[in-house]
Amino acid sequence: DAGVTQSPTHLIKTRGQQVTLRCSPKSGHDTVSWYQQALGQGPQFIFQYYEEEERQRGNFPDRFSGHQFPNYSSELNVNALLLGDSALYLCASSSPTGLAGMGSTDTQYFGPGTRLTVL
């Protein structure tokens, strides 16, 4: 059973460019969350997708957008890249079984991440 996969592994871009990162969830999972981990910090929640809709969003600007496909895979797009966008981007998948459908106890399975460097 393949776990969560992400592509590419590493990426180098320049300021102002746009980037697309991809994530395939664990088999049987329909919910995908994206996180940004900057150096020295814990992962920061970007947004979560469920049934092809953005269900929840963290404090990230509109330059960060996403998409979920019918097969539950997901993309993270970042426009007008800034130096500060350099980080490890993690994708996590889960299958909602939590209390009252809130999903708060669902275990998330993480991918290996995409390391983005903006020059």
Binding mask 59-98 for another protein (x = CB under 8 A): x------------------------------x-x-x---x
Q: Does 55 bind another protein (CB under 8 A)?
A: yes
Cβ-contact 6, 114 below 8 angstroms: yes
CB of 16 to another protein, least distance (A): 28
CB of 14 to another protein, least distance (A): 27
* Window 10 to 29, contacts with another protein (CB under 8 A): none
Positions that interact with another protein (CB under 8 A)? 3-4, 31, 33, 35, 40-45, 48, 50, 55-56, 58-59, 90, 92, 94, 98-99, 102-113
